[in-house]
Amino acid sequence: MVRCKVDPKINPILPSDDLKEIIPPNWPQPKYTFSTNTITEDKFILGRALFYDPILSKDNTISCGSCHQQFVAFANADHALSHGINDLLGKRNAPGLFNLVWHSSFMHDGGINHIENQPIAPITNTVEMGDDINPILEKLNASSKYKNLFNKAFGSEVADTKKLQLAMVQFMGLMYSYNSKYDRFKRQENNTSFNDSETRGYSLFLQKCAVCHTEPLMSSFEFRNNGLPVDPFLKDKGRGELNTAEPGDDYLFKIPSLRNVALTGPYMHDGRFTTLEQCINHYTAAFTNTINLAPELPRQGMTLSAQDKADLVSFLNTLTDYRFISDKRFADPNFK
Partner 1 sequence: MNIIKYTLVILSLFALASCKKDTKTVEPTPEPAPTTGNLKINFANKVGTANLSYNTTYTIQSGDSISITKFKYYISNIVLTKSDNSTYTVPNSYDIIDPAVKTAINLTNVPIANYKSVQFIIGVDSARNKSGAQDGDLAPNKDMFWSWNTGYIFLKLEGTSPQSSASNKSVIYHIGGFSGLNKGIRTVTINFGSSTANVNSSGTPAINLNTDVLEIFKNPSPISISSLNFQMSVNASSKMIADNYADMITFGSITN
166 counts as binding partner 1 under rule CB under 8 A: yes
Pick from 60, 61, 151, 161: which binds partner 1 (CB under 8 A)? 161
Return the number of the residue (29 or 36) whose C-beta is nearest partner 1: 36
Per-residue 3-state assignment (H helix, E strand, C coil) for the chain = CHHHCCCCCCCCCCCHHHCCCCCCCCCCCCCCCCCCCCCCHHHHHHHHHHHCCHHHCCCCCCCHHHHCEHHHCCECCCCCCCECHHHCECCCCCCCCCCHHHCCCECCCCCECCHHHCCHHHHHCCCCCCCCHHHHHHHHHCCHHHHHHHHHHHCCCCCCHHHHHHHHHHHHHCCCCCCCHHHHHHCCHHHCCCCHHHHHHHHHHHHHCCCCCCCCCCCCCCEEECCCCCCCCCCCCEHHHCCCCCHHHCCEEECCCCCCCCCCCCECCCCCECCHHHHHHHHHCCCCCCCCECCCCCCCCCCCCHHHHHHHHHHHHCCCCHHHHCCHHHCCCCCC
236 counts as binding partner 1 under rule CB under 8 A: no
Pick from 46, 115, 212, 276: which binds partner 1 (CB under 8 A)? 115
Report, in Å, the least distance between residue 198 CB and partner 1: 39
Of 91-99, 110-118, 139-147, 318-326, the window that binds partner 1 (rule: CB under 8 A) is 110-118
Of 90-98, 107-115, 177-185, 195-203, the window that binds partner 1 (rule: CB under 8 A) is 107-115
Report, in Å, the least distance between residue 38 CB and partner 1: 14
Return the number of the residue (78 or 132) whose C-beta is nearest partner 1: 132
Of 11-19, 88-96, 161-169, 308-316, the window that binds partner 1 (rule: CB under 8 A) is 161-169
Amino acid at 91: K
112 counts as binding partner 1 under rule CB under 8 A: yes
Of 64-72, 127-135, 217-225, 229-237, the window that binds partner 1 (rule: CB under 8 A) is 127-135
Report, in Å, the least distance between residue 241 CB and partner 1: 9
Report, in Å, the least distance between residue 105 CB and partner 1: 9
Return the number of the residue (167 or 175) whose C-beta is nearest partner 1: 167
Report, in Å, the least distance between residue 118 CB and partner 1: 9
Show the binding pattern over residues 128-157: x = contacts partner 1 (CB under 8 A), - = does not.
Answer: ----xxx--x--------------------
Rounded to an integer, what is the distance from CA 305 to the centroid of its chain?
A: 31
CA–CA dist 43, 48 (Å, integer): 9
CA dist 47 to 39, 53, 55, 129, Å? 11, 10, 13, 17
Return the number of the residue (169 or 261) whose C-beta is nearest partner 1: 169
Q: Which residues in the 242-281 window bind partner 1 by CB under 8 A?
A: 242-245
CA–CA dist 89, 81 (Å, integer): 6
Q: Which residues in the 34-73 window bind partner 1 by CB under 8 A?
A: 36
Positions that interact with partner 1 (CB under 8 A):
36, 107, 111-117, 120-121, 124-125, 132-134, 137, 160-162, 165-166, 169, 242-245
